[in-house]
Amino acid sequence: MFRVPWLADEDELLAPEPDKPDAPRPWRPRWFRPGRRVGPKTLAVFSRQLAVLLDAGLPLLQGLDILSIQGQHAGLRAILLEVRSEVEAGAALAEAMKRRPRAFNDLYVNLVAAGEASGALHPVMDRLATHIEKVAKLRNQVRSALTYPAAILAVASAVVFLILWKVIPVFRHLFADLGGDLPFLTRLVVGVSEFIGAYALVLLGGAAAALFAASRLLRTRQGRQWADRLMLRLPLVGKLLQRIVVGRACRTLSVLLASGIPILDALTTAAGAAGNTVVTDALETVRDEVEQGSSIHAALLGTNVFPTMLCQIVYVGEQTGKLSPMLNRVADFYEEEVDTDVDSLMKLLEPALITILGVVIGGIVISMYLPMYSALTRIG
């Protein structure tokens, strides 16, 4: 999936004025970092606005002045003031941005450098804005589609856990007073309740420890590779994730090539922006093979990661000299496929979750009434 770039550190943003080197910085807790992040929407708006200003004939310094004063994001305004100062001192715009990797990633910097080198910065900035908007739209669409089922599942699991932990023991004493043999379903629910009651703290602690260990593992290269490989093999969502990451890689390559970036540099940048280590490793392999003289489509096909359709379209793009527009069409195609897949997944997940939760909670309720029904039958 596209990673949100970070802005400069708090120390940089809150540094004292040059004429007051000993001025104290206002203290703020670590969790309160205003202006530290810049979202894709903010970055896209900045790119689009700068493209419009440059297209209107304004010099770069004047455009940066306007955006650093009128921008709505405080952190980005601070960054732009610093970038503007360095550009005025003689640095290239891409060079000044490269010194702030938390604000501008490699893809952004490389495209800006290509635009400066070609003397056509404004179309590159416009292309960047479109790219960021499309990637953010795709990510938000998938996130919003999966958040609702995940929230329902989490809340329902917590409710079932609390029922088994706190409510069922109350019925257990009632069943003991009623006497008689308990039905199998009731014995099963009571047994699970007794297990949870005896080991509730152990289970909660184990779950917390597992989450902590998983978060630490995912910070390692090997852990990310294992998780990304597993996600691509999952039923239902695996194909969806593959289309997302491959579509993003195609979109990135298309934007880079259209901006005049050489193919080897474009593959390197696209690999870093893939958002999935499986695709990243595959693109790095493709880059090495292309450097050794292989064609792009043959190198892609040899990785066994990219769909055959993509490899065939890349072959046509290589033969016709229209690789960038071909990759852009592939990205559009995968985005449409993702739209369809997300709709289908939602239509499948919602009734499936409702059915599963109905069976679980309904089974618990029925198991509690069966002994009472049996007792009333014996009395009657």
Residue 207 Cα distances to 200, 210, 213, 313, angstroms: 11, 5, 10, 46
For residue 11, pLDDT over 50 is answered with: no
Measure the CA–CA gap between 92 and 61, rounded to whole angstroms. Answer: 11
- Report helix, strand or coil for 6: strand
Closest CA to 327 of 238, 241, 265, 266: 266
Report the mean per-residue pLDDT for the chain. 83
The half-sphere exposure of 180 on its side-chain side, counting CA atoms within 13 A, is 17
Place of tokens 């003689």: 90
The mean pLDDT value for 165-183 works out to: 79
Task: Tell how far CA 96 is from the center of its chain.
Answer: 27
Q: Most confidently modeled of 20-29, 33-42, 62-71?
A: 62-71
Q: List the structure tokens of 105.
A: 């990633």
Q: Is the pLDDT of residue 5 over 60?
A: no
Q: State which fold the 10-104 domain adopts.
A: Receptor-associated Protein (1.20.81)
Tell me what the mean pLDDT of segment 285-302 comes to: 94
Q: Which pLDDT does position 171 carry in this prediction?
A: 82
pLDDT band (50, 70, 90) for residue 347: confident
Query: Residue with structure tokens 């640095």?
Result: 91
What pLDDT, on a 0 to 100 scale, did the predictor assign at position 34?
40
**Residue of 372, 376, 364, 366 lying closest to 163 (CA atoms):** 364
Max mean pLDDT among 31-40, 82-91, 177-186 falls in: 82-91
pLDDT average, residue stretch 54-70:
91
Task: Using the predicted structure, report yes or no on whether residue 14 has a pLDDT greater than 80.
Answer: no
- 3-state secondary structure at position 37: strand
Average pLDDT over residues 229-239: 85
Output the CATH code of domain 129-380.
Answer: 1.20.81.30
Using 50, 70 and 90 to split pLDDT, how confident is the model at 275?
A: confident
pLDDT band at residue 379 using 50, 70 and 90 as cut-offs? low
Please tell me which residue, 35 or 117, carries the higher pLDDT value.
117
Residue showing tokens 């198991």: 367
Banded pLDDT at 179 (limits 50, 70, 90): low
> Domain spans of the chain?
10-104, 129-380
Question: Which of 27-41, 117-131, 286-300 shows the lowest mean pLDDT across its residues?
Answer: 27-41
Q: Give the model's pLDDT for residue 33.
A: 44
Please, are residues 5 and 103 in contact by the beta-carbon 8 Å criterion?
A: yes
Q: How confident is the model at residue 93 (pLDDT cuts 50, 70, 90)?
A: very high
Outline where the chain has alpha helix (H): 10-13, 40-55, 60-70, 74-88, 93-98, 106-118, 121-162, 168-178, 184-217, 221-233, 237-258, 263-272, 277-291, 296-302, 308-320, 323-379
What phi and psi, each to the nearest 5 degrees, are found at residue 274? -65, -35
Q: Is the dihedral of CA 323, 325, 329, 332 positive or negative?
A: positive
Check if 10-104 and 129-380 are the same fold. yes
Mean pLDDT confidence for 4-30: 37
